[in-house]
């Protein structure tokens, strides 16, 4: 190990550009900074302001010479529209593949798409269209129809990934070549009913992000100041989750876990777990879910989607003044200061955690068949997961992050929702998970030691 091993890690966010400067030899954070992202003008402006702040704290002027790695969710992140066949199968497989690659799914379509739906997709302006449908050797008609529909419009800034029935690829390739579409082919995300294979698709999505989308969103202007943009920010956090769960080399991981990231616009959940039934007499139903899973709740945010949270709060009988309090600090965009604001913010944050985890985990449903009552598990069982990690501003800057994270735990009044029963609770208080995910791509053991030291266990 080098005696001088200092690195810069950068997250180009839609709202803030964040930078952390670390000494990996000492396993310490030297300095951190954030500045409003300047995507609309020149993204390097915000980055340079962060560098300036870090130089003032660290006393080091030539930060550019340090090894720098970056991730990005700027300019709306990586936007994907998914087109599949059956909603509960190939369309859902496409959705899982896109989310697992760190994308924001802005539209999901099934069966033979219509001209109206083509217009909708065009207006959504996706970075990538993910075209799936049919198991290998199965139905070809729908995916070929949808490929032809996509040729009716020019998609100059949109990449098309085909990840469906391989028996249709030759015909689809001819269709797209005739219309000069930028189409790439990967393995089928669902080659057989009930079997997911998303790794090939995930890899292709990330390649497009690095090679094309980074430049299109203006982030390429920062190349002179950084080594590379490796991945979308959600992918960096997902890679951090995998490393924390599994460990590396001589360093043990934490085991199966959940990471909950509450933000202003969305609440993201990342999990690493097999999710097998934890009790007997339970059978699996629905589409199997990946070991590495991510979900995004676009209606649960502590600023831009505050109305949905207020609606949920009202349903639960909270005091009527909570709407007035919440709108005050959310609309004015400041961190709650008064006691009633802090209490309100904690309630809203916990609710965002509770609802997003409820949607992420599996559940037990009672079905009736010829032999009587059956217990069917849809999704993954997280009851035995031993670790929950909170990140995102509403959790990190809360005076009571433990109270917020309690929303992620199993509730006796809803036993059918398979949430963790007795996990250890941690908070990413230094906002370093994205940095750990970036570093994991080149030096996983260093990344793991760094994250384990800086995560804070809540008692």
Same domain, 159 and 261: no
Q: What angle do CA 31, 37, 43 make, to 5 degrees?
A: 100
Cα 111 from Cα 64, distance rounded (Å): 50
Query: Is 422 inside any structural domain?
Result: yes
Same domain, 156 and 37: no
Same domain, 88 and 103: yes
Same domain, 186 and 252: no
Beta strands in 112-162 (DSSP E): 128-131, 159-162
Same domain, 174 and 84: yes
With a cut of 50, say whether residue 2 has pLDDT above it. Answer: no
- Pairing between β-strand 16-23 and β-strand 6-12 as defined by DSSP bridges: antiparallel
Same domain, 28 and 99: no
Cα 159 from Cα 152, distance rounded (Å): 15
Same domain, 361 and 401: yes
22: three-class secondary structure by DSSP? strand
pLDDT tens-digit series, residues 304-337: 777 778 788 777 777 667 777 776 666 655 567 7
Same domain, 163 and 268: no
Same domain, 44 and 84: no
CATH code at position 278: 3.30.420
> By the 8 A CB rule, do 149 and 113 touch?
yes
CATH code at position 39: 3.30.420.40
Query: Is 452 inside any structural domain?
Result: no
Give residue 53's domain range: 6-75+217-226
Cα 131 from Cα 250, distance rounded (Å): 42
Same domain, 254 and 127: no
Query: Is 455 inside any structural domain?
Result: no
Q: Who's near 100: CB < 8 A, 6+ residues apart?
A: 198, 202, 238, 290, 292, 293, 294
Query: Is 449 inside any structural domain?
Result: no
Find the mean pLDDT for residues 363-383. 88
Residue 385 dihedral angles phi and psi, to the nearest 5°: -65, 135
Q: At what angle do helices 339-360 and 322-332 cross, to 10 degrees?
A: 90
Query: Is 191 inside any structural domain?
Result: yes
Q: Greatest CA span in the chain, whole angstroms?
A: 75
Same domain, 202 and 248: no
Element (H, E) at 98: helix 92-100
CATH code at position 146: 3.40.50.280
Q: Who's near 317: CB < 8 A, 6+ residues apart?
A: none
Same domain, 379 and 258: yes
The structural domain count of the chain equals 3
Cα 444 from Cα 439, distance rounded (Å): 6
pLDDT tens-digit series, residues 124-165: 888 889 999 889 988 899 999 999 998 876 766 678 899 999
Residue 42 dihedral angles phi and psi, to the nearest 5°: -145, 115
Q: Who's near 169: CB < 8 A, 6+ residues apart?
A: 162, 185
Domain boundary among 198, 226, 254: 226
pLDDT tens-digit series, residues 36-77: 876 666 667 788 888 888 888 887 776 665 678 888 776 556
Query: Is 350 inside any structural domain?
Result: yes
Query: Is 442 inside any structural domain?
Result: no
Query: Is 357 inside any structural domain?
Result: yes
């Amino acid at each position: 190990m080098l005696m001088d091993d200092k690195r810069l890690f950068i997250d180009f966010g839609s709202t803030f550009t964040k930078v952390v400067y670390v000494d990996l030899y000492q396993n310490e954070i030297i300095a951190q900074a954030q500045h409003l992202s300047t995507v609309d003008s020149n993204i390097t402006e915000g980055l340079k302001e962060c560098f300036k702040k870090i130089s003032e704290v660290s006393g080091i002027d030539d930060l550019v010479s340090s090894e720098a790695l970056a991730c990005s969710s700027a300019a709306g992140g990586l936007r994907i529209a998914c087109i599949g066949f059956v909603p509960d199968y190939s369309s859902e497989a496409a959705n899982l593949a896109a989310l697992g690659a760190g994308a924001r799914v802005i539209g999901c379509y099934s069966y033979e798409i219509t001209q109206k739906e083509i217009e909708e997709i065009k207006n959504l302006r996706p970075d990538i269209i993910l075209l799936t449908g049919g198991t290998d050797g199965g139905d070809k008609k729908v995916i070929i129809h949808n490929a032809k529909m996509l040729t009716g419009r020019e998609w100059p800034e949109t990449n098309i990934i085909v990840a469906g029935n391989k028996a249709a690829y030759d015909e689809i390739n001819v269709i797209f070549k005739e219309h000069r579409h930028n189409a790439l082919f990967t393995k089928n995300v669902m080659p057989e009913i009930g079997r997911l294979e998303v790794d090939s698709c995930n890899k292709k999505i990330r390649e497009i992000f690095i090679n094309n989308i980074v430049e299109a969103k203006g982030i390429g202007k920062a190349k002179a100041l950084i080594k590379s943009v490796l991945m979308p920010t959600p992918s960096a956090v997902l890679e951090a989750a995998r490393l924390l769960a599994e460990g590396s080399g001589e360093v043990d991981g934490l085991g199966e876990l959940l990471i909950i990231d509450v933000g202003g616009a969305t609440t993201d959940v990342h999990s690493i777990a097999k999710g097998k039934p934890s009790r007997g007499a339970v059978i699996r139903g629905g589409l199997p879910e990946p070991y590495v899973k991510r979900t995004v709740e676009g209606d649960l945010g502590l600023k831009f989607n505050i109305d949905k949270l207020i609606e949920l709060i009202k349903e639960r009988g909270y005091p009527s003044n909570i709407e007035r309090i919440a709108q005050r600090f959310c609309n004015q965009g400041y961190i709650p200061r008064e006691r009633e604001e802090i209490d309100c913010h904690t309630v809203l944050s916990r609710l965002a955690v509770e609802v997003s985890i409820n949607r992420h985990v599996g559940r037990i449903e009672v079905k009736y068949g010829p032999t009587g009552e059956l217990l069917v598990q849809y999704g993954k069982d997280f009851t035995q997961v031993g670790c929950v990690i909170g990140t995102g501003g509403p959790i990190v800057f809360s005076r009571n992050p433990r109270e917020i994270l309690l929303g992620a735990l199993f509730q006796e009044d809803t036993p059918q929702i398979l949430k963790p029963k007795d996990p250890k609770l941690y908070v990413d208080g230094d906002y370093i998970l994205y940095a750990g995910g970036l570093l994991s791509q080149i030096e996983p053991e260093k990344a793991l030691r760094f994250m384990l030291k800086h995560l804070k266990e809540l008692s």
